[in-house]
A = this chain, B = another copy of it.
Amino acid sequence: MVPAGGIGGARLLRGLAAVVGDDAVITVIGNTGDDIWVHGLRVCPDLDTVMYTLGNGISEERGWGREDETFTVKDELAAYGVEPTWFGLGDRDTATHLIRTQLLHAGYPLSAVTAALCDRWKPGVQLLPMSDERVETHVVVDDPDQTPEPGQAAARRAIHFQEWWIRYRAQLPAHSFAYVGLDNAKPGPGVIEAIDTCDLIIIPPSNPVVSVGTILQIPGIREAIVEAPAPVVGISPIIAGAPVRGMADACLRAIDVPTTATGIARHYGPRRALIPIGASGGGILDAWLIDTSDAAAVPDIEALGITCAAVPLLMSNLAKTADMARAAMDLVGFTP
């Protein structure tokens, strides 16, 4: 079972699929906190990144959206002057969103809609949204449209994660994250069952705050991972003290977590520790795989009660990604 965010999760899954072969069942719990209604369409960036990546439809260069994409619809919307203009709505992608939106309006839950879309892409994994309820990550920032009076503190405003990430490139300092809808959210169909019955849980090198972190916020999911019979191994999204891709440091800073392999290991926390470490609700890691460039951190992480090893983590091709997945399995003694 893999709780996956965007590019990092999707690439890890490719390597994992190569290692475990066709007979193994890989269940992916997809982050839907980045989902957004835009131009009347329901867009699920992380679900689509997993689906397109494993279905050979992803733009390898961008890491999101479709290969050979065009942006006619987006340009036309801009010509009408409708906002937002910063969202990268591709033409091929639009078809996916149209189908999803129509099915949601017809009353199908997101889990069923995702399964229907996967009928085309055949990603080879069972892709489950973390929740069928709408949960959207918002970011509390100083209102970019207001200049504070002299001597006054800036007014704060919560904007959608996508606006912060894409429009502002995560350059507006984040004070905190708010998960709108969380109180009413339940884990999606099959999510808890997958955690309870799987043989191995891998935390991929996704953003620990807004990808994996959001999934863990859904009431019941963190608790299920804490108690799961399967071992849990995480893969660090840090290489040489910096996030491999994306702007995870801006997210980590907002919750006072250092952008280091050790900082994130401590944030996730050791499972079943006598003294609680990490985010509230219980630690989730048995083991933590870090990059060779961060190997000096191994003793600190082991001291937390988390098994640790250092191997090359850059997923620059399928063979290296598969090696990484194999190393993660080895760390908890799992044989595919």
Contact = CB atoms under 8 A, between A and B. Distances in A.
A95 B80 contact: yes
A95 B91 CA distance: 10
Interface stretch (A98-106, A124-132, A249-257): A98-106
Nearest to A93: B76
A310 to B, nearest CB: 43
A96 interface: yes
A115 interface: no
A105 B40 CA distance: 8
B79 A41 contact: no
How many identical subunits does the complex contain? 2
Contact of A99 (B72, B80, B95, B99): B80
Contacts of A91: 70, 72-73, 76, 91, 94
Interface residues of A, number: 25
B95 A73 contact: yes
Nearest to A74: B95
Contacts of A72: 70, 72, 91-92, 95
Contacts of A40: 98, 101-102, 105
A244 B179 CA distance: 60
Contacts of A95: 72-73, 76-77, 79-80
Contacts of A119: 81
A69 B321 CA distance: 41
15 contacts: A39-B98, A40-B102, A41-B98, A72-B95, A73-B94, A73-B95, A76-B94, A76-B95, A79-B95, A80-B95, A80-B96, A80-B99, A80-B120, A81-B120, A91-B94
**Minimum-distance CB pairs A-B, first 10:** A76-B95, A40-B102, A72-B91, A77-B95, A39-B98, A76-B92, A73-B95, A80-B120, A91-B91, A73-B94
